[in-house]
Amino acid sequence: MDLALIGITCESDHTGSTTWLHDSYYRAVEKVGGTPILLPPLYPGPAMERLLPVLDGLLLSGGGDVDPCYFGEEPLPNTGLITPDRDLFEITLTRRALAKGIPIFGICRGMQVLNIAAGGDIYQDLALSGEVSRVKHCQSAPRWHPTHEIIIRSESLTADILESRQIRVNSFHHQILRKLTPGLKATAWARDGVIEAVEGTGQGFVLGVQFHPESMCCRQPVFLNLFEALNRAAVQRRLSDVDETVAKIIQGKPAAQVE
């Protein structure tokens, strides 16, 4: 079986001096048969451009808050630490990946980055949504423990992958999606109306969740399905690229035209 190369974005501190990733992300990718590649926050340029043809899939990991300048706002008092290098890298990389049709899966912050990169925005803090939340979205429980229920739209990719229309998930966030870009649609909600999952409206694999499946799949294997879906889409893309390259060779295209 062809092993898909899945790029996973890493966390960094607000000074840009330290980069890391919780092992649960790459272990989940590895467990479903993918080959994880850890991506530090590179500056846009040649190095990033060389990455794109290599990646079969992209996993946008969780982390801190996104700089509100990317959706036209000033930082508000409840906005947390900002990581400028990571924001620039992930938003640029996501836009390029969307343009190239690379399968994308965003987790927590990653779902928010996906929406922002495509032209949507977020509430900088849950309290700003104008609704009184009836759900605790930053839990006081182990990361593997699901603490609140979400409702999943039937006939959606999210429902197919998780094999359910209702499921309990964990929660570690204070920022939430607000305006969705036209390229995304909401497919799951918490009981208080907070968007918990999105997927692309086009043909490619684009998926985001507000919870952290990488922390739950060790005890609830159904959440590993999300990583299997990403890997499956990435393998399909890899194989289609191989078919296209072979076709070009058969047609006698010059080597320079065969990526």
CATH of the domain at 149: 3.40.50.880
Q: Which pLDDT belongs to residue 128? A: 84
Q: What's the token pair of residue 259? A: 């990526």
Q: Which pLDDT belongs to residue 83? A: 95
Among residues 148, 196, 214, 217, the one annotated as catalytic is 214
Q: Which pLDDT belongs to residue 243? A: 53
The answer to whether 22 is a known catalytic residue is no
Q: Domain count of the chain? A: 1
Q: Which pLDDT belongs to residue 251? A: 60
Cα(218)–Cα(142) distance, rounded to whole angstroms? Answer: 13
**Bridge partner list, 208:** 106, 198
Q: Which pLDDT belongs to residue 123? A: 95
The answer to whether 218 is a known catalytic residue is no
Q: Which pLDDT belongs to residue 91? A: 98
Among residues 137, 148, 173, 212, the one annotated as catalytic is 212
**How are strands ordered across the β-sheet holding 57-60?**
35-39, 5-9, 57-60, 104-107, 206-209, 195-200, 184-190, 148-152, 166-169
> Can you state the percent helix, strand and coil of the chain, rounding each to 5?
35, 20, 45
The answer to whether 155 is a known catalytic residue is no
* pTM, 2 dp: 0.91
Domain that holds residue 147: 5-257
Among residues 10, 108, 173, 196, the one annotated as catalytic is 108
pLDDT tens-digit profile, the chain (259 residues):
568 999 999 999 888 789 999 999 999 999 999 999 999 999 999 999 999 999 999 999 999 999 999 999 999 999 999 999 999 999 999 999 999 999 999 999 999 999 999 999 999 998 887 665 788 888 888 899 998 999 999 999 999 999 999 999 999 999 999 999 999 999 999 999 999 999 999 999 999 999 999 999 999 999 999 999 999 999 999 998 765 555 455 566 655 555 4
